[in-house]
Amino acid sequence: MIFDCLQTTGKASSLSCPSDSSRLYVSSQTSPLDSLHSWSSNALVVAQQYVGEHLGSRTRTVGDPETSARVAALREQQRQFVHLLQLATSLAKQLEHVVHTQRCLGDALGELSQSGGDVPLGEQFSSSSDTLKLVSKNGDTLLSMLLDSLNMQQYSF
């Protein structure tokens, strides 16, 4: 990538790198060795800046303050969306446990209403069992919709 920066034109050599918008013009009166030395020094500085920016040891070189502000706003918005996604994932896990507990409780109440025979609370157990099974079915529907939504959102980041 850095070695692709050398371009020669008629009387002067144009030295630039894709990540550096400025160009260094070297007159054709200098020796090729001086031209190569000048180009390599410039390429080294650009490469050091690039590596330093990605490692976080140097600040990014952005010439436009408006662009820099927009980038900062987008980073903040992305941070908020990631936090929202984490909260929704936590909600889905908790809802999954609640739905499972409701289903187990409904099954247990159904068995209790069937086995008691002459239990005075048998009808209430049966009614509660049916209600919990219906609620767990609706919870499954809600959980599947939430998980589908989360799966789509995870692919967008």
Q: Which pLDDT band holds residue 30 (cuts at 50, 70, 90)?
A: confident
* Any domain includes 60: no
In terms of domains, do 97 and 136 share one? Answer: yes
Q: Is a pLDDT exceeding 80 seen at residue 149?
A: yes
Q: Could you report the per-residue pLDDT of 90-142, keeping only the tens digit for each?
A: 999 999 999 999 999 999 988 888 886 666 778 888 899 999 999 999 999 99
Q: Are residues 29 and 97 in the same domain?
A: no
- Give 112-146 as a DSSP string: HHHHHSS-TTHHHHHHHHHHHHHHHHHHHHHHHHH
Query: How far from chain centre, in Å, is Cα 90?
Result: 16
Query: Which CATH number characterizes residue 89's domain?
Result: 1.20.1270.60
Domain that holds residue 28: 2-55
Q: Are 18 and 3 within 8 A, CB to CB?
A: no
Q: Domain count for the chain, please give it.
A: 2
| Residue 32 shares a structural domain with residue 109 | no
**pTM beyond 0.85:** no
> Residues 45, 74: one domain?
no
Q: Quick one: pLDDT at residue 83?
A: 95
Helix, strand, coil content of the chain in percent (nearest 5):
75, 10, 15
